[in-house]
Structure formats: C-alpha cells, structure tokens
C-alpha cells in the first residue's frame, strides 16, 4: 500500500509539474496601417495578421481609397472599370477578395482575407503570396519590417 501511495504521489507530482502536457497557446494580432494622401487621392492600407505561437495563421489586407481630384472624379466610371478588372471578387481555397464601391463619395475599397493554413498554394501564388505558408517570419519580424516601410503597427493580445 505504501508503494502504491508513492507511485500515486509521483504521478501526481509529474502531472502537476507538466500541466498534463498542455502548453498555453499564445495568440496575437499585428495590425499595421499606412495612409498616403497625394494628388486628390487618399489611400489607407490596413494589414491585420493573426499569429498563434508566433506562426502566421490568418491575414487580412484592406485598401480603402477615396478621391477628391476633379480629373479622377470626371473619369470615375473609367477608373472603377480599370480597378474592377484588377479586383475580381472571389472566395475559394481559403482566400477571398471583396470589393465595395460608393459612387456618391467616390470610394473604392478592397479586402483580401487569407486563411493561411487552409489556403491552397495555387491560389496564394495567383494572389502574389507564394511561399506564405512556409514563411518563418515572427510577429516581431513582420512588425519591424512594416514599420521600416513607414507603417504604424500595434500588437493586440487575443483572449
């Protein structure tokens, strides 16, 4: 009986010390924003990257464009048509692109969502993100690179 208690206590100590083998998963979001205003165009880009244990899992890229230049406004329909050719909406293989347009205030906005784990290599390549699944850049690496390029970034803890 004494031997059984020692084994039981030993197992209990191991379980308590290792936390039943569970490791706490850390999930964080890096949000980087750039704003550029030039020649009657205002373009805001927001990139949101969700990391789990410092591995990229999900990414959203938004480009919000608004226009005040009379030349662009006079050619708004042609501009939209050209933008629509480059921005065909789709939702497949873990990647989706949505477009919203407001003709009253001359805004053209795109949103690209990428589920990195579930996205196919083919669609990632089509969208210019070849090798994204194999990227070993950490949250901090991405933050430093974005800030070097002029973005303002913040890290958010996800509960």
Structure pTM? 0.79
Whether 97 is covered by a domain: the verdict is yes
Whether 16 is covered by a domain: the verdict is no
Whether 17 is covered by a domain: the verdict is no
In this structure, the number of other CB atoms found within 10 A of the CB of residue 32 comes to 21
Whether 142 is covered by a domain: the verdict is yes
Whether 19 is covered by a domain: the verdict is no
Whether 37 is covered by a domain: the verdict is yes
3-state secondary structure of 116: coil
Whether 13 is covered by a domain: the verdict is no
Domain housing 130 = 25-157
As a whole number of Å, the end-to-end CA separation of the chain is 45
Whichever domain contains 74, its CATH number is 3.30.1830
Q: How far apart (Å, rounded) are the C-alpha atoms in residues 158 and 29?
A: 7
Whether 49 is covered by a domain: the verdict is yes
Query: For every one of its 159 residues, what pLDDT tens digit does the chain have, with 9 covering 90 and above?
Result: 444 344 444 444 454 444 554 556 789 999 999 999 988 889 999 999 999 988 999 999 999 999 888 887 888 898 899 889 988 888 988 999 999 999 999 999 999 999 999 998 888 888 888 888 888 888 999 999 999 999 999 999 887
- Contact 32/151 with Cβ under 8 angstroms? yes
Q: How many domains, in total, are found in the chain? A: 1
Rama region for 104: left / alpha / beta (φ>0; ψ in -120 to 50; rest): alpha
């Amino acid at each position: 009986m004494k031997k059984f208690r020692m084994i039981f206590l030993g197992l209990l100590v191991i379980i308590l010390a290792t936390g039943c083998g569970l490791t706490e998963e850390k999930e964080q979001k890096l949000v980087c924003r750039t704003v550029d205003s030039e020649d009657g165009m205002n373009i805001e880009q927001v990139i949101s990257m969700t990391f789990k244990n410092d591995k990229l899992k999900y990414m959203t890229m938004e480009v919000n464009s608004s226009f005040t230049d009379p030349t662009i406004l006079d050619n708004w329909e042609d501009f939209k048509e050209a933008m629509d050719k480059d921005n065909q909406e789709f939702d497949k293989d873990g990647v989706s692109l949505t477009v919203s347009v407001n003709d009253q205030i001359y805004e053209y906005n795109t949103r690209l969502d990428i589920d990195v784990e579930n996205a196919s290599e083919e669609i990632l390549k089509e969208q210019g993100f070849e090798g994204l699944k194999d990227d070993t850049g950490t949250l901090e690496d991405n933050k430093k690179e974005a800030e070097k390029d002029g973005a303002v970034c913040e890290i958010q803890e996800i509960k």
